[in-house]
């Protein structure tokens, strides 16, 4: 079977792959995308809870894992926050900012994908759908990409934009790590990030479905690893909510990659009151003879009184306040890839040229998006990295085959 040929092959039709293909074709270089799913951009549709958090007004490398700083700085210097906004506005997408997060005015991810699909149609970029890559072989003239069903695509340069391992049902199954390893690249162990935590605690069981605003710290071997504020959601398996997702990366790396078992979270359940204020209020209620189950009524939701009855029965204002301000939960693990927003880990950034995202091992091989050991905080940072890295890798690949 002869198969399709194109100077540049993009493997993966997510955000980074789409931008890479548009960038290549916009420079007059034919390109083809090999996409595992039956449609492009499935994860774009799911991003930002369906609103598509495109980027962030505070886009810089301080919001990404420290190992990626060199790469992130270089890429954003070439295609940063203003470039991302200009790209989408120039293609007709109207956007706005909400607390620094950038969204389409429609608040619908489908609008963003539609704009990208329109550009694909305008540029006549071909897509090989349902193309499960089984092997990428280096040949004298470039590369041959084979699918599990026997299809073949040949080209002079390849951009690996297959994503990480989060949400495998949407197309990211981690297959690209094997491709990168076959070419000699090192993979920093991928672990789920922005993921709920597994905790066995009676309080979680009693408060299932209850959400409160908290301040939270992750503790690794007793030391504070990260801090955040936001919502805490009690679940049947443990803890979730935005506050948990924001501090989960460090815990996931410690437990899933480093195999440490001393991980915990410290939760301030009353961030709107100081400990002294809480002691004063509780002392006043105790002097007034308020029943134990009602001691924290009006401070925390009604479910908390019965759920924390053993603590409240001690009638010690200082102990109760201290516990509410520093409630500790031992973390046993994280939930799986189907519940993780992002992947922490991937192709070692030291093996990639920061200027063009080209492999330093194999000429003509480029990387974009989540396949690299680059992960950002929630808030549009990961999608911004996908757009920017796709653009930069696209320029590199287009230049390589000219």
To the question of pTM greater than 0.85 for the whole model, the response is yes
DSSP characters over 323-366: HHHSEEEE--EE--GGG-SEEEEEE-GGGB-TTT-BBSSSTTEE
> Pairing mode, if any, of strands 333-334 and 95-98?
unpaired
Give the domain ranges of the chain. Answer: 4-191+342-401, 197-334
- In this prediction, residue 2 has a pLDDT band, given cuts at 50, 70 and 90, of low
> Pairing mode, if any, of strands 342-347 and 187-193?
antiparallel
- In this prediction, residue 167 has a pLDDT band, given cuts at 50, 70 and 90, of confident
Length reported for the chain:
402
Instruction: Give the pLDDT mean for 257-267.
Output: 97
Instruction: Give the pLDDT mean for 280-305.
Output: 97
Q: What is the pLDDT of residues 108-138, one digit of tens each?
A: 999 999 999 999 999 999 999 999 999 999 9
> Pairing mode, if any, of strands 342-347 and 327-330?
unpaired
> Pairing mode, if any, of strands 157-160 and 365-367?
parallel
What is the spatial distance between Cα 210 and Cα 228, in angstroms, rounded to a whole number?
A: 19
Q: What is the pLDDT of residues 195-220, one digit of tens each?
A: 999 999 999 999 999 999 999 999 99
What strand order describes the sheet that includes 197-198?
A: 327-330, 263-268, 211-220, 223-234, 238-240, 197-198, 333-334
Query: Is the pLDDT confidence value at 48 over 90?
Result: no
Token couple for 166 = 């989060």
What is the spatial distance between Cα 233 and Cα 242, in angstroms, rounded to a whole number?
A: 8
Mean residue pLDDT of the chain comes to: 96
- In this prediction, residue 1 has a pLDDT band, given cuts at 50, 70 and 90, of very low
Q: What is the pLDDT of residues 97-107, one digit of tens each?
A: 999 999 999 99
> Cβ of 3: how many Cβ atoms within 10 Å?
14
Token couple for 400 = 């390589």
> Cβ of 208: how many Cβ atoms within 10 Å?
12
pLDDT top residue among 344 and 168: 344
The fold of the 4-191+342-401 domain, in CATH, is FAD/NAD(P)-binding domain (3.50.50)
């Amino acid at each position: 079977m002869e198969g399709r040929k194109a100077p540049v092959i993009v493997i993966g039709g997510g955000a980074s792959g789409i931008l890479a293909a548009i960038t290549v074709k916009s420079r007059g270089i034919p390109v083809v995308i090999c996409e595992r799913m039956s449609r492009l951009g499935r994860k774009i549709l799911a991003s930002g809870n369906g609103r598509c958090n495109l980027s962030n007004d505070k886009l810089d490398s301080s919001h990404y894992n420290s190992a990626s700083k060199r790469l992130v700085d270089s890429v954003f210097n070439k295609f940063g926050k203003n470039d991302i906004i200009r790209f989408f506005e120039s293609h007709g997408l109207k956007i706005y900012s909400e607390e620094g997060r950038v969204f389409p005015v429609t608040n619908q991810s489908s609008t963003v994908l539609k704009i990208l699909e329109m550009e694909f149609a305008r540029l006549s970029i071909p897509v090989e759908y349902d193309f499960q890559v089984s092997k990428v072989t280096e040949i004298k003239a470039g590369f041959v990409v084979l699918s599990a069903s026997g299809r073949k695509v040949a080209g002079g340069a390849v951009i690996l934009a297959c994503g990480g391992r989060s949400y495998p049902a949407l197309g990211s199954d981690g297959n690209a790590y094997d491709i990168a390893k076959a070419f000699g690249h090192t993979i920093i162990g991928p672990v789920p990030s922005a993921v709920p935590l597994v905790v066995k605690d009676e309080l979680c069981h009693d408060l299932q479905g209850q959400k409160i605003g908290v301040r939270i710290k992750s503790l690794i071997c007793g030391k504070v690893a990260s801090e955040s504020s936001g919502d805490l959601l009690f679940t049947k398996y443990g803890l979730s909510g935005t506050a948990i997702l924001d501090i989960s990366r460090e815990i996931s790396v410690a437990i899933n990659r480093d195999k440490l078992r001393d991980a915990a979270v410290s939760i301030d359940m009353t961030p709107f009151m100081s400990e002294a204020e809480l002691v004063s209020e509780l002392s006043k209620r105790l002097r007034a003879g308020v029943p134990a189950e009602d001691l924290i009524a009006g401070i925390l939701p009604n479910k908390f009184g019965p759920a924390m009855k053993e603590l409240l029965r001690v009638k010690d204002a200082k102990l109760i306040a201290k516990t509410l301000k520093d409630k500790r939960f031992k973390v046993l693990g994280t939930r799986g890839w189907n519940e993780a927003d992002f992947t922490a880990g991937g192709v070692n950034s030291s093996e990639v040229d920061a200027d063009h995202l080209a492999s330093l091992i194999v000429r003509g091989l480029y990387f974009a998006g989540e396949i690299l050991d680059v992960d950002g905080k929630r808030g549009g940072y990961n999608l911004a990295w996908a757009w920017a890295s796709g653009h930069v890798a696209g320029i590199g690949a287009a230049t390589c085959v000219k």
